[in-house]
Amino acid sequence: MANLSSCFALPSQFRSLSLSSHSHPSSVTGLAAFKPLSFSTSISHTVFSQGYVSVQNKPPPRLSVVCDAATNRKADSAAKRARQAEKRRVFNKSRKSEIKTRMKKVLEALDGLKKNPEAQAEEIIPVEKLIAEAYSVIDKAVKVGTLHRNTGARRKSRLARRKKAVEIHLGWYVPPAAASASA
């Protein structure tokens, strides 16, 4: 590679020389014309031992250059993505935990109503408020992307079905099919 770079410098050194002989390099007079080219110490001695040099106009070979900047940028963006993913994971974890807590409170309140045979219909109002809060938290989680919309719908449906089961058990709600069959 060092010889190649010194060969690229030859045209600039040729400008300072005046070569007036146009004879073939194999002739003795031609060799004498090219003898002064032995001034370069960076070029191999074997090139000038014969007394002539042929300079061809070839394009330089294609060399691929690897940049370190690309790998650093990629590593930085990967690190940023990791930081963002960790933030989202913690945020989503707390949101999912809140959903589970709210659902658990609703289900426990419904189980308490179901076990109480003397429960009044007005006692369902606080449970309905808990259900509304749970629905709100579930809808927000779906909106932000923490939960898939089908998962949110399934969890809301689970709460509604459990509430309806308690109302049927206590006799506060009569399904339409049962109402028409008893009439």
Q: What SS3 string covers 35-62?
A: HHHHHCCCCCHHHHHCCCCCCCCCCCCC
Cβ-based neighbours of 75, under 8 Å, separated by 6 or more: none
For 50, the token pair is 């014969």
Residue 98 near residue 137 (C-beta atoms within 8 A)? yes
Other C-beta atoms closer than 10 Å to the C-beta of 34 total 18
CB atoms near residue 160 (< 10 Å): 12
Decide if pLDDT at 125 tops 70.
yes
How many of the other CB atoms lie within 10 Å of CB of 167? 18
- The answer to whether 143 and 87 are in contact (CB under 8 A) is no
pLDDT tens digits, one per residue of 3-12? 555 555 555 5
pTM of the shown model: 0.56
Q: What are the tens digits of pLDDT across the range 83-92? A: 999 999 999 9
Q: What is the pLDDT of residues 50-90, one digit of tens each?
A: 555 555 677 777 776 655 555 555 678 999 999 999 999 99
Residue 164 CA to residue 124 CA, distance in Å, equals 11
Q: Are 40 and 6 in contact (CB under 8 A)?
A: yes
Where does the pLDDT of residue 21 fall: very low under 50, low under 70, confident under 90, or very high at 90 and above?
very low
139-173: pLDDT as tens digits: 999 999 999 999 999 999 999 999 999 999 998 88
State both tokens at 165: 């089961």
φ and ψ at residue 6, rounded to 5 degrees:
-75, -30
The owner of tokens 């659902």 is 103
Question: Which residues lie closer than 8 Å to 33 by C-beta, 6 or more apart?
Answer: 19, 20, 21, 23
